[in-house]
Chains A and B, each alone.
Chain A
């Protein structure tokens, strides 16, 4: 038993959902109680997906437990096949269903379905979301990939991008373009937007590009071993990594294409004198192993930062991250305990954090700027604009991402110069961010009980009521009420006036 406040990863069946939701023509029948449907909103709200995840939950209740949850599973399974007409289904159990041991795999097998049924064994009490996605994708590939001839042209598959992946949508596009410039076609991208019949075609490619090791490595290894497809080990995030990736692909395929570097602005942006201020900025990097490794290299070699600590939350990546930490001469922090990460950041007090949404909150509390570079994701991590992380455009995007939270060069100098100035001080925040600047004068020194217009007086009960209104709308409520009172020729604001005004402005 371990007390957990916030988690970096969900349970493994959420990983399976990330694969199922990314794909088309696949349905997931999940033996689960009511309430586990909460996971749908991760996809419909955070990722703004315009369709429900293709998941049928059996929704068993306490009273079913003594009776027949197995029949309930079979009914849901049949219903899903009839209603959604998938090319294949995956079946499995969530944490609670794992305990009642109904064996969804065995049950589905006895049903005589004519489509492939792929059983999932995802141990909910020892593994987590990334494992769930990786294992699910592997099982799907294992079940569906068919031996076949290679395509005439040199082609590859892109493996690993899932629903709720960090910038997966744009990374796939950027990577496809990069490969195309090298003269390599993409055979199948999977799981993102792939159908089960696309999965069957995977072995036609000459090699695999492993875009997301967290969610695609088991499948890549399987295809290497069983279908003779080598896979790339370098994830092309950053300028150097992208160039290394191009060399790796050339090595695997013998194709020496020269991708267009004319759009690559990052190296000059980093060399230009304005960026001098970035030199030696102390950064702490935390996230999933792949993004952390990529960003450590970018931070040190391409931005000129000083890396003061790195770590990852997914234990599967502990070994490479530890090795990397050694190379960087820092301690690796391998933990999924949010409070430990916070303590480490507090101790190291970096000037910037490259982290996840969790570290963004830590940064907010500690007053340290943070750029989000990795899942777990937030609705903000699904920008409307094109915003890849991989390849040359990805490098451009990352330069912007990494400097955006910072106070700009010259501004930083002014802050240092006028350190105790009432306007230029540390709490003022970067000038290009709205709504943060605070006056240095203590707020308590001037309790603004009196309105600007001395003709209108707040009576104490109204003033008290106003304080109960959430702070972020309080100012508006105060202004509206005063305007309303002045319009009505009132000199005092009572509780009633407050609510008269509220009703007046109600929409």
Chain B
């Protein structure tokens, strides 16, 4: 049995957590739209917000690849705020225009923002009304991606949680795998599980609205992302049962994650080995190559995506790094517990952020690698610290065996780059 052994010095699950409250250098939940709209190809995300929301989406998306992307912002104007215009009438009109121009859209998400929450535009009511108008062709749901309620990846959580109540009901014993993954990664995962004889496998989010994702009391679910706390709660409310496991990053995380499911479905040890042996060996080999630059180096995580704890586990246990601080915007024991169990004691675990204080700690510790957001990366590089932009970890395929080497590579590249650049005069 290749069960990951907990560290001999005890894990981090019961370690004291430094809880901080102050300026946060993180995105709001609207950012999730950037990858969610690629994943759900018949969905449109309509943010009801301000010019700031539109500007954020544009800046976070970085490039404008699409003439008419499947997301947009209904920008609130003075008259909407002054009550001179009925926000609901205005919204209905904008949605009508949008849907008539885009007949390919089958699901519409009304996404709440800071301003829409503060002035209390009831998007749930709007979604219900618009659903009636546009059913059956278009389903309209709502969630909040506002900064006052969601931090970066929590936007995906809020989106998926909004879909759970409308999933079809099933009595079947099914596996539901939850979390938006790149298609190539999702296919690998499905094929590993299928090869073990596990099925049917349902996915949330499904790629299209007509896909047959359902839920019920015989559903067991596994999370592929560590930021799906609300979705977890909604699924339990529907009677589904969570299979707690470390997250599928690296060889060890992937194996432990698959094993939790295999055990639940009574897969034999021989089958499990037969299916996982080859990809595991490949993962190990690829990690070993990429980890050369990482071994013995220290790492400091600023809170960003909630991926920090599982990634710290991967870097310390599989790449030979030492964690100095592992910051996460939020820590949910039900989700992060299994990874905290495996993370060797030592690092400061911190939750929330007071960015200036945290920067002081990072400067004092001078880690070999700092994982942080785009707003901090260049300033820290200018101070001589090597950094890895955290957002790339969310935008790149990094889950499961075949991406384990790429994942390690994302962390080793800044260090290798620093080593190759030579600009001094030749001796």
Q: Which of B4-12, B73-81, B160-168 contacts A (4 or more CB under 8 A)?
A: B73-81
Separation of A248 and B90 alpha carbons in the complex (Å):
50
B77 touching A2, Cβ below 8 Å: yes
Give which listed residue, B60, B73, B149, B376, contacts A4 with CB less than 8 A. B73
Count residues of A near B (Cβ-Cβ below 8 Å): 69
B23 touching A4, Cβ below 8 Å: no
B72 touching A126, Cβ below 8 Å: no
B376 touching A1, Cβ below 8 Å: no
Q: Which of A42-50, A297-305, A347-355 contacts B (4 or more CB under 8 A)?
A: A42-50
A64 partner residues in chain B, CB cutoff 8 A: 148
- A461 (CB) vs chain B CBs: closest residue: B191
B27 partner residues in chain A, CB cutoff 8 A: 35, 37-38
Given contacts A1-B87, A57-B23, contact A50 B379 (CB under 8 A): yes
A125 partner residues in chain B, CB cutoff 8 A: 50, 76-78, 80-81
- B381 (CB) vs chain A CBs: closest residue: A50
Give which listed residue, B60, B94, B279, contacts A3 with CB less than 8 A. B94
Separation of A128 and B356 alpha carbons in the complex (Å):
29
A499 touching B402, Cβ below 8 Å: yes
Given contacts A1-B85, A34-B26, A38-B56, contact A507 B382 (CB under 8 A): no
Separation of A76 and B72 alpha carbons in the complex (Å):
33
A45 touching B374, Cβ below 8 Å: yes
Asked if A52 is at the interface of the complex by the 8 Å CB criterion, the answer is yes
B148 partner residues in chain A, CB cutoff 8 A: 33-34, 60-62, 64-65, 96
Given contacts A1-B85, A1-B94, A94-B52, contact A500 B114 (CB under 8 A): no
Separation of A314 and B55 alpha carbons in the complex (Å):
16
B25 touching A40, Cβ below 8 Å: yes
A59 partner residues in chain B, CB cutoff 8 A: 22-24
Asked if A263 is at the interface of the complex by the 8 Å CB criterion, the answer is no
Count residues of B near A (Cβ-Cβ below 8 Å): 79
B405 partner residues in chain A, CB cutoff 8 A: 502-503, 506
Q: Which of B265-273, B282-290, B320-328 contacts A (4 or more CB under 8 A)?
A: B282-290
Chain B CB count within 10 A is highest, among A6, A45, A50, A468, for A6
Separation of A14 and B283 alpha carbons in the complex (Å):
45
Chain B CB count within 10 A is highest, among A11, A83, A95, for A95
* Chain B nearest CB, measured from A477 CB (Å): 11
Asked if A41 is at the interface of the complex by the 8 Å CB criterion, the answer is yes
B282 touching A499, Cβ below 8 Å: yes
A5 touching B379, Cβ below 8 Å: no
**For the complex of A and B, 10 pairs with smallest distance between CB atoms:** A35-B28, A35-B147, A40-B375, A50-B382, A506-B405, A506-B286, A96-B114, A1-B90, A41-B374, A95-B50
What are 9 A-B pairs at a CB distance below 8 A? A3-B74, A3-B98, A4-B54, A5-B69, A39-B59, A61-B149, A95-B50, A100-B118, A503-B286
B interface residue numbers (CB < 8 A to A): 22-31, 46, 48, 50-52, 54-56, 58-60, 64, 67-69, 72-78, 80-81, 85, 87, 90-91, 93-94, 97-98, 114-115, 117-119, 146-149, 151, 183-184, 187, 278-279, 282-283, 285-286, 289-290, 356, 373-379, 381-382, 402, 405-406, 409, 412, 416
